[in-house]
Structure 1
Amino acid sequence: MKSRGGHSTWRKIVYGGVLALAIIALLAMRPGSESRDVGEFLPREIRGEANRVVKEIVEESHAINSKIDHIVSLPDNEFLFIVSRSSARDERIVKDLAKGHCYLRFPSGPRPIAARIVDNLRGDGGRRMIRCRAIDQQLPLQSPLVATAQIQSSDGKITLGSRGRSLELVNWNRIVFAALAREEDLVLFTKGIFSVKKETPPKRARCVFYTDNGVAVTYTRVLGLAQEIIRCEYPPGQGRSRGSLVSVVPGEGTGGDAAAPSVAVYGGAAREGQSARPRHLLCACTMVHNAAKFLREWMLYHSRLGIEKFVLYDNNSEDGLEEAAAELRNRDGLAVEIVPWPWIKSQEAGFSHCAASRRDECQWMAFVDVDEFLFPKLWLHSGAKSTNATGTVGSSPLARAIAAATRNRSQMVGQISFHCRDFGPSGQATHPTAGVTQGYTCRVVKEQRHKSLVRLEAVDRGLVNVVHHFTLGQRYATARMPSWKGVVNHYKFQAWDEFKQKFERRVSAYVSDWKEERNIKSQDRTPGLGSKADKPADWERRFCEVQDTGLRDYILKTMASPDKLELPWQS
């Protein structure tokens, strides 16, 4: 008994020491450090027990054992960590990683690069996307670049890592970044691999599907490519599991026989075909970057015209977009959905994704920006009046405009195009307190490029779009709305502090950023400004050739409170 009890006491002492050393080792695993076998600190006889204790503590605290699958290098010294599907299911990861820090350790680097978390996004395939911005260091310039990765919440409770593996940093300007399953094909959204204006038959390109552990197992035909969209044939039997990686082998150029870098996952079986009429007659889709302050005016006005749902592709906003959308849902009863879209200069791909993914939900989609307001003048005062903020489906102004534009046509109408009228600063030095429709009332005479309402079933399978209008299938035609019936008011040239934000980055893949000395005469540019965001002395008086108060007066008459003349977005 004595020896047995003494042996038991000895084991307790040893295990107590193991536990203490395990905790010390855990505390030593600071952000940016490599994960180490705790046993290397201990005598060989008790290493196994020490590692078991550490593993239990780690799994209980969620310190490690979660996986970062990819690192994407973005402009402005940012990078995107894509967290595995199994880890992303954990609600604590979603909640606790709202704030914290990210770390990259390079094999030849003197110390890890530290960055703060600026976004925690919902990704495709059930993954999470953690966007980080380096604090005071620049990413190394050598290529290819590999690093181990780590993310830690501000309270230290959650740490995600690459499990000691070195991951290649995928550059945002050459990547397969998203995949969308349709009944007839799998659509890949890419950057910097192909760029053709019209759908082109592929030469040697192939799509490649991977197993869960990254082994290429199936190659299929490329059915077509247009702009930066690739349509893939499905694998035989569609046997790949949900969440498996998919890419493309270009088959031409330098490295043409190697698969392009990809973070896109294949979502399993194709969606079923459209079995019923879409539940919404009209939705709106746009891409936003730090536009939260404009949403309420834009959405409340357009909901009155008959738009039933708003789909916002969030291009790295940091101004409270989620909170603004939640208020519009809870306070105003609007249907608002945010689609995280961190991919730079990819507006056309975002609109193609929206058109393809919303076909079963929306019959018509308005592709307009948040500084653009549809103004169907002829149908504003006729027919049944709206009884609430969203209007009555079928009797709303836009519903009547669609009915009129598609009636008595020899060919089915798949798209209705409106000309744009560009408004200037109109004497405003700051953002108008009553909103853009009230403060900007002077415009240029010449009408500009058009924006569209699109029947989603009419969009050509190649999903090509330019300046908010789409290439249509052969059965469909575009109807152009005469300006006396309806236009788009484009509040393009606003007060300087708002307008100069356009110099940060343009969202289109096919226009130059305004800071670049390229395509200075492009219609996307502002006449007389060049490539520097220097305010002209007469800015407030520019782009003012004719007073136009039509939309302002309509909104005041129909939406202002009778006692205070206050508009809904001012309260």
Structure 2
Amino acid sequence: MKNRRKRGVGDVVVSWRRFFPFVALFVSSFLVFSALFIFLGKFRPSIKAVHGGSVPPVMVAPVHEAVKFPDQTLILIKYYQWSSRLLTKDDLFCVFAHTNDSSKVYKELPFAVEISDPGRQIVRCSAVPRHHTVSLAVTRWTVDNRFLVGATYQWDRLVYDAVIDHDNTTVAFVKGLNLRPGKVADVSRYECVYGWDLAKPKLLLRSQVISAAQEIVRCKTPLTVLKGPRVAQSSAVKVSVRIKGSGMLPSVAHPINHPVRVKDLTYGERKQFETCVCTMTRNAANVLREWVMYHAGIGVSRWFIYDNNSDDDIVSEVKNLKNSGYNVSRHFWPWIKTQEAGFANCAIRAKRDCDWVAFIDVDEFFYIPSGQTLTQVIKKYTTPSSSSSKIGEIRTSCHSFGPSGLKDPPRRGVMASYTCRMSQPERHKSIIRPETLNTTLINVVHHFQLKEGFTFVDVEKDAMIINHYKYQVWDIFKEKFKRRVATYVADWQDKENVGSKDRTPGLGTRPVEPSDWAERFCEVRDNGLKDWVLENFVDRKTQRLVWEGERNIMVGEVVAQMGLC
């Protein structure tokens, strides 16, 4: 009998090779149906509109995490690769529920829905009221379901972004370190932490901090993270920073890896673009077309637009420019008062493709009286005077222009309209060679710190200067009172540093138009750039400036008209 039992067992043995397809089918089916079960889990909340009335059944989307700002809430949601399309603003409602009364629920439209890292979208909702939670209702689905809201973080203490640099180090961008501007911190106080779940200490990877300054921490990236998927490190791996003695900071940052490394690029090696521009802006749709087309005409070939929570038509403007051949990319950067960190992020992004990168605002325009291109000016000033002195940064002074007697926004653009300025130039702006930047990426908006062995050069004012249309007509200028983007500069409505150079002379802290605003900041009449623009940037077909009207002027037309091809 013993032998028969053994033979019986042997009789039911099936070849693993034959059995494997059935196992694979079973496992895959189980995963799919489990996902669907979770995705379609039943929960039917009673939702009431803000202004009363009934609300049709909706589906509440999976909220991964949320970040609370003073004036808005960022909702970070996952999207699934098998989804037919990404969610849009028209698909969603922001849903706010009272924590102590489930009947008090209301909804409103989001400000915008943005694409962030691969596998993640960001929804901009209003600030969460006190004693409320937030979720998202997806109106286009017929089933009403609900997902648990993930962690909600305060903005003032957070690792908010991260990127793996071309030397395989991780650069994390952090709020809450409270470091002094322009100073390098003691790295022994910090530790970088990686993990799929930062709440599980036993599963965390710890690594050395290489540098820490301002809001930027550079870490040695663990091999496990580097060997992950190239696009987004398995999209679940997070990086955080632990302050020794104070604990680990919350994080929403997934370190994104660059598909191409430029680790071995040497000084002077040519890249795809000779001259690029980085900017951070908010609600710049009205000037973006003029700014891009003009700089294309003087030799700029690549633009990186860091959008800091715009609610105008900038997305359409960028799309139109791209369709006209301009190499413009928009990068959603929702983090408030982080211009220095954003510029550091852009320097990393541009390093692969750009020989030189200018950091200017959208109301700043390079003016080269000789008619040379920006690239020609750069080459003139970057020939090393000795083998030990290499130029990594070019600094250009700025002239600040006033309203020039205007009271309404000019139709022809800023360069042809604002012609009266202050007599003395103000702070400079910089054009940098990305691979020469110090590893700390310290910058004070106007310039970066360079690696040892590299230096900067000042451009003579008669060779090139920046026309900064800083004090425009009041309707445009007053937008500056909402918030300033630099980390270490007080907002216009704050009473801190009222008399500093970062303030507008004689204006105060309230957005009240002075009676003589149109005549202020007018010491010198300067028609130089205006005359040059009217001579060189008129559309031969319409006899209007190339950025006026609705005709899409292709980049090739502008370049050909300027004689750059």
Q: Deviations over 1:75-118 (max 9, x none)?
A: 21x1111112x5376343434x4453112435335624634211
Counterpart in the other structure of 1:317 = 310
- Give the 3-state SS of the residue equivalent to 1:469 in structure 2: coil
Q: Match for 1:245 among 238, 245, 262?
A: 238
Superposed, 1:379-398 pairs within 5 Å as 380=371, 397-398=373-374
- Give the 3-state SS of the residue equivalent to 1:200 in structure 2: coil
Counterpart in the other structure of 1:443 = 421
The answer on 1:513 being equivalent to 2:456 is no
Relative to 1, partners in 2 of residues 1:537 and 1:473: Cα closer, same or farther, differing over 3 Å? same
Q: Match for 2:191 among 187, 206, 209?
A: 206
Superposed, 1:110-149 pairs within 5 Å as 111-112=104-105, 114-133=107-126, 139-140=129-130, 147=133, 149=134
Superposed, 1:363-442 pairs within 5 Å as 363-378=355-370, 380=371, 397-410=373-386, 411-442=389-420
Counterpart in the other structure of 1:67 = 62
- Give the 3-state SS of the residue equivalent to 2:64 in structure 1: strand
Superposed, 1:274-313 pairs within 5 Å as 274=263, 277-313=270-306
5+ residue gaps, structure 1: 1-24, 34-60, 382-396
- The amino acid that maps onto 1:415 is E
| TM-score, normalised with respect to structure 1 | 0.80
- By how many angstroms is 1:533 displaced? 0.8
The answer on 1:79 being equivalent to 2:79 is no
Q: Which moved more, 1:114-123 or 1:212-221?
A: 212-221
- By how many angstroms is 1:561 displaced? 3.4
- Is the contact between residue 392 and residue 437 of structure 2 (CA under 8 Å) also seen in structure 1? yes
Q: Match for 1:180 among 153, 156, 163?
A: 163
Counterpart in the other structure of 2:256 = 267
Relative to 1, partners in 2 of residues 1:270 and 1:198: Cα closer, same or farther, differing over 3 Å? farther
The answer on 1:170 being equivalent to 2:160 is no
- By how many angstroms is 1:420 displaced? 0.3
Superposed, 1:90-101 pairs within 5 Å as 90-95=83-88, 97-101=89-93
- Is the contact between residue 278 and residue 359 of structure 1 (CA under 8 Å) also seen in structure 2? no
Counterpart in the other structure of 1:37 = none
- Is the contact between residue 406 and residue 413 of structure 1 (CA under 8 Å) also seen in structure 2? yes
Cα distance in structure 2, aligned partners of 1:231 and 1:89:
35
- Is the contact between residue 72 and residue 79 of structure 1 (CA under 8 Å) also seen in structure 2? yes
Q: Deviations over 1:486-526 (max 9, x none)?
A: 10000000001001110011011111111111110121110
- By how many angstroms is 1:452 displaced? 1.1
- Give the 3-state SS of the residue equivalent to 2:508 in structure 1: coil
Cα distance in structure 1, aligned partners of 2:221 and 2:312:
40
Cα distance in structure 2, aligned partners of 1:102 and 1:473:
47
Q: Deviations over 1:166-188 (max 9, x none)?
A: 53321112211111002241000
- By how many angstroms is 1:214 displaced? 5.1
- Is the contact between residue 393 and residue 431 of structure 2 (CA under 8 Å) also seen in structure 1? yes
Structure number with higher relative contact order (C-alpha < 8 Å, ≥ 6 residues apart): 2
5+ residue gaps, structure 2: 1-40, 50-56, 550-565
Relative to 1, partners in 2 of residues 1:360 and 1:563: Cα closer, same or farther, differing over 3 Å? closer
The answer on 1:553 being equivalent to 2:531 is yes
Aligned length: 485
**Cα RMSD (Å) of the superposition?**
2.6
- Is the contact between residue 47 and residue 106 of structure 2 (CA under 8 Å) also seen in structure 1? no
- Give the 3-state SS of the residue equivalent to 1:439 in structure 2: coil
Q: Match for 1:470 among 448, 469, 476?
A: 448
Cα distance in structure 1, aligned partners of 2:350 and 2:524:
39
Cα distance in structure 2, aligned partners of 1:223 and 1:263:
21
Cα distance in structure 1, aligned partners of 2:424 and 2:277:
26
Cα distance in structure 2, aligned partners of 1:435 and 1:93:
36
- Is the contact between residue 201 and residue 223 of structure 1 (CA under 8 Å) also seen in structure 2? no
- Give the 3-state SS of the residue equivalent to 2:430 in structure 1: strand
Counterpart in the other structure of 2:54 = none
- Is the contact between residue 120 and residue 128 of structure 1 (CA under 8 Å) also seen in structure 2? yes
Cα distance in structure 2, aligned partners of 1:160 and 1:209:
33
Relative to 1, partners in 2 of residues 1:106 and 1:566: Cα closer, same or farther, differing over 3 Å? same
- The amino acid that maps onto 2:319 is A
Cα distance in structure 2, aligned partners of 1:563 and 1:501:
35
- The amino acid that maps onto 2:322 is R
Relative to 1, partners in 2 of residues 1:219 and 1:115: Cα closer, same or farther, differing over 3 Å? farther
- The amino acid that maps onto 1:288 is T
- Give the 3-state SS of the residue equivalent to 2:415 in structure 1: helix
Identity of aligned residues (%): 33
Cα distance in structure 2, aligned partners of 1:347 and 1:28:
42
- By how many angstroms is 1:467 displaced? 2.6
- Is the contact between residue 414 and residue 472 of structure 1 (CA under 8 Å) also seen in structure 2? yes
Cα distance in structure 2, aligned partners of 1:159 and 1:437:
53
- Is the contact between residue 88 and residue 128 of structure 1 (CA under 8 Å) also seen in structure 2? no
Q: Which moved more, 1:106-115 or 1:542-551?
A: 106-115
